Structure 1
Amino acid sequence: MADPYVTLGVARSASEKDIKSAYRKLAKELHPDRNKDNPKASERFSEVTRAYDLLSDPAKRAQFDRGEIDADGNPANPFAGGGFGGGGFNGGFGGGGGGFRPEDLRGMGGADGVDISDLFEGLFGGGGAPRGAQGGPFGQGARGGFGGQRRPPPPRKGADVAYRLRVPFVDAARLADQRITLADGKTIDLKLPAGLEDGTQMRLKGKGEPGPGGAGDGIVTISVDQHAFFRRDGDNVRIDLPITLSEAVAGGKIKVPTVDGPVMLTIKPGTSGGTTMRLGGKGFTKKDRTRGDQLVTLEIALPADVAELAKRLDGWNDTANPRARFGV
């Protein structure tokens, strides 16, 4: 990971408040929910979050500033740069930048009975030179002043890939399988989840970019298309259905379209316009796998040419006041 100060865009002298403010600004800009079509924003969001995790911890930040850990929080290599470094054994054994050399023990009685175990004891906190789990010096699992060897972080998975899938209104209500083409050119049949809504996201495991730790995931965002005459009302489907004046007066059976195909609906004689009738189980599928209803609102449609109707009504006047409840 890059320098966390650079990642957050703050100075090394930044206060905790400055760091938190910078993180909040970047997290708001890069959050996956606001960048559903930009997978690189998700990667950048992860980098910013890791940088904030390190710098918001006073102990880790101090260790990083002293060079004791790297930007990923792993211990810096104590042997990096050759030898033990300028202030370590080089300073005590002959100086220079050549690192620790066996001949540096000469002149200190290295072969004349001097026990150097005290030297290692002071450095590593143990008796004698530290030995690893395999018995060798500085081996895996070594204990003492340097502590046990930390496991390397697991390899990172590949990036997630964002997809947007438009689903026809009727298919969304019926949860009809949808075919989707992936980034690698392959196609799969996607089963829509119960409780589907516009904006629902589905995760396809292993359908993202390849990576050393395995492939990332595919993130599918569902967009439900509008319909020519159906409209959604929660888990219900609504439709405004015109009927003739004759059908309203005499009643009878009429054909009604639904998301599952047309059905017959019986209306009573004298049905008024604006009457809403319910068709059970013809709506959207809920999370519990039950379905909402279809609500049919009847509208009386007069004929385009009302001349014949006017002749039939000549001399007849409806004396009822349908607006009485409004106080007019």
Structure 2
Amino acid sequence: MAGDPYAALGVKKTATEAELKAAYRKIAKVDHPDLNPDPAAAERFKAAAAAYDLLKDPEQRRRFDAGEIDEQGQERPQRRYYRDHAEAADNPYARSYGFENDADMGDVFSDLFGRRGAGGRAGTGGGGFEGFEGFGQGGQQRDFHMRGQDHRFTLEVDFLTAVRGGKTRITLPDGSDLEVTIPKGAQDGQTIRLKEKGGAGLGKGGSGDAYLTLTVAPDPLFRREGDDIFLTLPITLAEAVLGGKVATPTIDGPVNLTIPKGATTGQKLRLRGRGIKGGDQQVELKIVMPPKVDPELETFMESWRKSHDYDPRVGMNSGSRS
């Protein structure tokens, strides 16, 4: 995401949490890659997902609005440090630097910290912020501490792992492996926080966090709406006419589903409690003809039609509708 997260969601900065959620859902229904193959739609959805991920957390939203983090959720430590120091009420040098116009001092302090790091205490390994020692009032030396940056990643998980929950391994930027627990019922766009798995801190500053935004891959059999699971189940012509029990896939394994006599395509049956966290599984029936209509079936149907014919399209013709 680049730019204003509020603009990415199409809301005002004063939007409530409910308005943020509604805006994100509206965009997802139109621009989700599973629904809209247009690359531009995918980019809009990606931007909206990142924006919602940032703003749905009240603390992250507060920090973004305050300028403490950027639209990526990354810290803005240099600018914040400069302002905290220069504007402090007990700082006798607050007006002696010549920076009264509040210019962006990020580059200046980056250079300053770099030089201090390079000439600081022994054993720091050279440049950067490590080992930097600042100076307080009266020229007294004090350590510089800063929390590490948060890192953000996208992790794709398969559909069944998302709905059942499970574990997967990821490789962090430093090359280390980490086992991640996917909570049961995880949804597309959901974010998992990995505490202190982000960038390393400085001095006594703790490590930042890592945030994993989940992308749930589609499944060839199942789809999800809330906590309900939906499945289209093919049945034979004989099963539709005579009924019977049919092995039916669920997210927890196959179960026997009773097909009523005279079942028809589009008819829906419910498996209670076979969804996610107590949700149901909705099964839509689809009658599938045999690969080939043999002479025996053809002869039987011709004979049956003579005395049992019916019209399933009654009322569809405009001339018969009032």
TM-score above 0.5, yes or no: yes
Q: Which one of 154, 162, 175 corresponds to residue 185 of structure 1?
A: 175
Residue 31 to residue 275, structure 1, CA distance change in 2 (3 Å): closer
Matches within 5 A, 1:155-304: 155-212=145-202, 213-284=205-276, 290-304=277-291
SS in 1 for 2:238: helix
Aligned residues with identical type, % of pairs: 35
Q: Which one of 280, 300, 303 corresponds to residue 312 of structure 1?
A: 300
Distance in 2 between the 1:251 and 1:73 partners? Answer: 82
Match of residue 324 from structure 1: 314
Residue 158 to residue 320, structure 1, CA distance change in 2 (3 Å): same
* Greater fraction of residues in helix: 2
SS in 1 for 2:302: coil
Match of residue 128 from structure 2: none
Distance in 2 between the 1:237 and 1:155 partners? Answer: 49
Shift of 1:217: 0.5
Shift of 1:315: 2.6
Distance in 2 between the 1:255 and 1:204 partners? Answer: 40
Distance in 1 between the 2:193 and 2:238 partners? Answer: 53
Contact 1:32 / 1:41 at 8 angstroms: preserved in 2? no
Structure 2: which amino acid aligns with 1:77? Answer: Y
Distance in 2 between the 1:177 and 1:44 partners? Answer: 27
Distance in 2 between the 1:245 and 1:79 partners? Answer: 88
Query: Highest CA radius of gyration, 1 or 2?
Result: 1
Contact 2:235 / 2:288 at 8 angstroms: preserved in 1? yes
Structure 2: which amino acid aligns with 1:315? Answer: S
Shift of 1:220: 0.7
Alignment length (residue pairs): 217
TM-score w.r.t. length of structure 1: 0.55
Shift of 1:192: 2.2
Residue 49 to residue 78, structure 1, CA distance change in 2 (3 Å): closer
Shift of 1:226: 0.3
Distance in 2 between the 1:26 and 1:80 partners? Answer: 37
Residue 245 to residue 157, structure 1, CA distance change in 2 (3 Å): same
Structure 2: which amino acid aligns with 1:236? Answer: D
Shift of 1:254: 0.8
Shift of 1:32: 9.9
Which ranges of structure 2 fall in alignment gaps of 5 or more residues? 9-46, 54-68, 98-135
SS in 1 for 2:182: coil
Contact 2:271 / 2:280 at 8 angstroms: preserved in 1? yes
Distance in 2 between the 1:251 and 1:278 partners? Answer: 16
Shift of 1:278: 1.2
Distance in 2 between the 1:35 and 1:269 partners? Answer: 48
Distance in 2 between the 1:48 and 1:273 partners? Answer: 64
Instruction: Please list the CA deviations of residues 18-46 of structure 1 after superposition, one character each: whole Å capped at 9, or x if unmatched.
Output: xxxxxx9698699993498xx98647774
